[in-house]
Structure 1
Amino acid sequence: MDEAPEQPPAPRIVVGGALVHQGRVLAARRSTPAAVAGRWEFPGGKAEPGETEAQALERELLEELGVRARALSRLPGAWTVRPGLELRFWTAELLAGEPRPLQEHDELRWLGPDELDAVDWIGHDREVLPHVAPLLHP
């Protein structure tokens, strides 16, 4: 009998959230690790086993920023952060709370549509900006 070739394990998913509120999106400046410290990203983190991407994003935004948010829809694209780790971006809306940099970030900024180039984005986060910009209304 021929054996089917082994499939590589499914990648672990990391979700980044374009948190939109009042026509602006939240950017977070990384404080760690050193390779990306000082650069900006959309906050988020790894999905835990059994969690949907939406659930993971909502949990991560609560842990990282102290806010309740609702994941809305996945944005186009996926990026390999490193082998076995895939980054996907979602839009989210703020439900309650004022974001604070609780973990892995040292500054937050709400950016309007004309301010998206005002910060030094991490590469994959910059690549998703064309999908985020149309969601922002002055």
Structure 2
Amino acid sequence: MVTTDTFKRGFYKGITTFFELSKILVPVYLGVQLLSVSGILSIMADFFTPAMSVFGLPGETSLVLILGYFSGGYAALGAMAVIKLTSIQITTVSIMVTIAHSLITEGAVVKKLGVSTMASVLLRILFSLIAGFLFNLIFG
């Protein structure tokens, strides 16, 4: 049963979560929008288009992958909001970022567990790229 107290706690947690996510999403969105308006994003896109076409993605998504790999999924979401992608392309990027996200932070955790950080990072990136390629091959 939903009581007034339950509603208040849920509302407070929802607002808190909103502001926490906004700290990541808004600056990334604005940064990518500035890159887009300044023309830097299109220069970057032209450079990465050949590599990204292997995954059926436009060159701009290289920035999304870099942000996702190093900052995390929310940064990738903020960048994806600026770039026009099809549902297949969004799914491809999401799969790739889900496999290899927050590599620096999780690399530190893996190191504390006694596992090779470099091996862990390289495997995650490799499997991310393989999954993106296969998804594009099957559905692209």
* TM-score, reference length from structure 2: 0.24
Q: Which has the higher strand share?
A: 1
Which of the pair is proportionally richer in helix? 2
Q: Based on CA coordinates, which of the two structures has the bigger radius of gyration?
A: 2
- Normalised to the residue count of structure 1, the TM-score between the two structures is 0.24
Using CA pairs under 8 Å that are at least 6 residues apart, name the structure with larger relative contact order, 1 or 2: 1
